């Protein structure tokens, strides 16, 4: 482990936090101001290294920080006040927990002297967040403040990444100390990579193996190594739930992704596999359920940088093998071993890439309202090759999975936990993480209105955030379940009409309303040309609520 220290004299707790952020090279903060952490704001005011964005809602701060962390692999910080502010933050923290995204949440608390007496906005952080985040820490005194932050950073970024909450009693933010800030370099202490012999033997003897990718949505060397392994082995390559851009969709071995609305050919391929090689934190309930895996006798090998209880929760322990190692290194090692064997059974196995998904070509006919499949097909044609696509939860995402591809440098960001309201603030966060790249936010009318106010943030910052609202006048996912379980008894899932284009115009954002298929391309292309945020409001039928099987 490496470390470096810097003496800092006579700092308030708030200023010490900002100095710690600078030395840890945590450069992005999202916040909604609160009286409980004014000394931190004062420190941020004079910081030339930490960029601070003021959001309109605490959930937006958390979503923006989560998306920033997804794109960069480094934690951003969200800072909110106690009580209502902390409660509003929770949805974004759960998103970070599900998606294994590093994130630090700093929450101002009541002074220690007022705890336990129903002080104004008092909140018990452990009771509130203990079951959601990776850890809840409270800096109990000024002396342990920086040590608590350091512990939080290491917890958030090592093993399975995730959100860590740090409670900051107001009194310690005003206290002054002379102290030494110690920063530790990353170390895993593993002493080398595990032996992959068992996984290699299972792969060579398998009849129907498959590669499942759940690694970073921003592709790097790990993604290339995983694609190379699938090519060398001659086996299908599949994305995990909402890991649509984990690997290059243009790879010959890629056949699609799992999740709600996954094509039956993809689900059947994975469900019938006798050896699944999973890379990254790829195993969760939706991924497993959509493919019905593993079949009896199948084994799942997961290669991830930390222990993941999702594997043993959704795969019987006797059929699950977990390697705590770098996914890219694991893929490289497996591919190298296969290439060196020459006479393995893989040489005799026919490549199984014929199941590659059909992204679909829709009939060029006028239809009103717009067909969701046509929308996604047109969107796929208009999206730049370097676009970052940020999707809300919603039943529209079933068509996105089938018709929007993530080849070249396209990136997909989406909440595995099904959090509504993610797309717009997530796109703002992604645009700050990747300046110059076009960021597209896709949302339904239900989820979109939950954080629609953060279009004002996009307008204020002049970010190139392109918003597409898919409007079916309903909480579509819930209505679909309601129709399945309570046929003919729909209640509480209908939404009234909203003129989204008019609301966007109120923020000074160019907007278009589309009611027919033929209007899609002109509107999407016009929005693409805007220097700043834009919005296209697309009216789709209230039904169907699910993509057709097949």
Mean pLDDT, range 357-371, rounded to an integer: 58
Mean pLDDT, range 461-487, rounded to an integer: 85
Q: Is the dihedral of CA 241, 247, 248, 251 positive or negative?
A: negative
Mean pLDDT, range 385-393, rounded to an integer: 95
Extended strands (E) in 397-438: 411-413
Rounded (5°) CA angle 448-449-453: 105
Q: Is the pLDDT of residue 134 over 60?
A: yes
User: In this predicted structure, what is the pLDDT of residue 120?
Assistant: 73
Q: Is the pLDDT of residue 462 over 70?
A: yes
Kindly list the distances between the CA atom of residue 462 and the CA atoms of 186, 204, 436, in Å, as whole numbers in the listed order. 36, 53, 11
Mean pLDDT, range 52-59, rounded to an integer: 96
Q: Tell me the domains of the chain and their CATH numbers.
A: 3-184 (3.40.50.970), 197-355 (3.40.50.1220), 372-539 (3.40.50.970)
Helices (H), 303-356: 309-314, 327-341
Residue with the larger pLDDT of the pair 219 and 550: 219
- Model pLDDT for residues 482-527, shown as the tens digit of each residue: 777 777 777 777 788 999 999 999 999 999 999 999 999 999 999 9
Q: pLDDT-derived band of residue 474, with 50, 70 and 90 as boundaries?
A: confident
pTM: 0.82
- Model pLDDT for residues 212-269, shown as the tens digit of each residue: 999 999 999 999 999 999 999 999 999 999 999 999 999 999 999 998 888 899 999 9
Q: Is the pLDDT of residue 110 over 70?
A: yes
Question: Residue 193, SS3?
Answer: coil
How does DSSP classify residue 279? Answer: E
Rounded (5°) CA angle 530-536-542: 170
Min mean pLDDT across 275-284, 345-354, 390-399, 465-474 is at 345-354
Q: Checking phi first, is residue 291 left (phi over 0); if not, alpha (psi -120 to 50) or beta?
A: alpha
Q: pLDDT-derived band of residue 3, with 50, 70 and 90 as boundaries?
A: very low
Q: Is the pLDDT of residue 190 over 60?
A: no
Which of these, 153, 142, 144, 68, lies nearest to 106 by C-alpha position? 153
Q: pLDDT-derived band of residue 179, with 50, 70 and 90 as boundaries?
A: low
User: In this predicted structure, what is the pLDDT of residue 192?
Assistant: 59
Residue 487: CB partners within 8 Å, gap ≥ 6?
Answer: none
Which of these, 270, 265, 292, lies nearest to 358 by C-alpha position? 265
């Amino acid at each position: 482990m490496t470390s470096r220290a810097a003496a800092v004299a006579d700092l308030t707790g708030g200023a010490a936090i900002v100095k710690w952020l600078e030395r840890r090279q945590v450069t992005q903060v999202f916040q909604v101001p609160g009286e409980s952490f004014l000394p931190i704001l004062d420190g941020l005011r004079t910081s030339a290294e930490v960029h601070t964005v003021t959001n309109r809602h605490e959930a937006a701060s958390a979503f923006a920080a989560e998306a920033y962390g997804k794109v960069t692999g480094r934690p951003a910080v969200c800072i909110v006040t106690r009580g209502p502010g902390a409660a509003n933050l929770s949805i974004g923290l759960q998103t970070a927990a599900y998606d294994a995204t590093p994130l630090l949440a700093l929450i101002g608390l009541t002074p220690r002297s007022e705890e336990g007496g129903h002080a104004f906005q008092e909140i018990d952080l452990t009771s509130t967040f203990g079951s959601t985040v990776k850890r809840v820490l409270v800096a109990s005194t000024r002396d342990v403040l920086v040590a608590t932050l350091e512990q939080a950073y290491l917890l958030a970024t090592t093993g399975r990444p995730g959100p860590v909450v740090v409670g900051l009693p107001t009194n310690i933010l005003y206290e002054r100390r002379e102290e030494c800030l110690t920063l530790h370099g990353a170390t895993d202490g593993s002493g080398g990579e595990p032996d992959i012999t068992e996984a290699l033997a299972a792969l060579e003897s398998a009849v129907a193996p498959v590669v499942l990718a759940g690694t970073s949505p921003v592709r790097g060397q790990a993604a290339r190594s995983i694609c190379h392994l699938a090519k060398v082995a001659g086996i299908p390559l599949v994305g995990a739930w909402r890991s649509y851009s984990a690997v290059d969709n243009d790879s010959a071995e890629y056949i699609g992704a799992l999740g709600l609305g996954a094509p039956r050919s993809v689900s059947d391929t994975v469900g019938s596999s006798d050896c699944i090689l999973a890379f990254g934190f790829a195993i969760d309930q939706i991924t497993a359920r959509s493919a019905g895996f593993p079949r009896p006798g199948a084994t799942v090998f997961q290669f991830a940088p930390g222990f993941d209880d999702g594997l043993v929760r959704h795969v019987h322990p006797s059929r699950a093998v977990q390697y705590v190692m770098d996914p890219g290194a694991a893929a490289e090692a497996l591919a190298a071993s296969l290439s060196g064997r020459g006479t393995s059974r893989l040489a005799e196995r026919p490549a199984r890439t014929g199941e590659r998904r059909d992204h679909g070509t829709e009939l060029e006919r006028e239809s009103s309202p717009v067909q969701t499949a046509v929308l996604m097909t047109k969107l796929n044609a208009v999206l730049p090759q370097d676009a970052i696509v940020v999707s809300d939860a919603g039943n529209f995402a079933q068509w996105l999975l089938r018709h929007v591809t993530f080849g070249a440098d396209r990136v997909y960001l989406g909440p595995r936990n099904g959090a509504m309201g993610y797309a717009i603030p997530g796109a703002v966060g992604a645009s700050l993480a990747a300046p110059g790249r076009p960021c597209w936010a896709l949302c339904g009318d239900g989820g979109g209105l939950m954080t629609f106010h953060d279009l004002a943030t996009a307008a204020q910052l002049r970010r190139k955030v392109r918003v597409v609202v898919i409007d079916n006048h309903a909480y579509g996912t819930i209505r679909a379940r309601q129709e399945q379980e309570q046929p003919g008894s729909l209640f509480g899932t209908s939404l009234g009409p909203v003129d989204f284009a008019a609301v966007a115009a109120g923020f000074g954002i160019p907007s278009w309303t589309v009611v027919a298929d033929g209007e899609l391309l002109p509107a999407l292309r016009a929005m693409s040309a805007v220097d700043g945020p834009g919005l296209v409001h697309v009216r789709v039928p209230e039904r169907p609520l699910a993509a057709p099987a097949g």
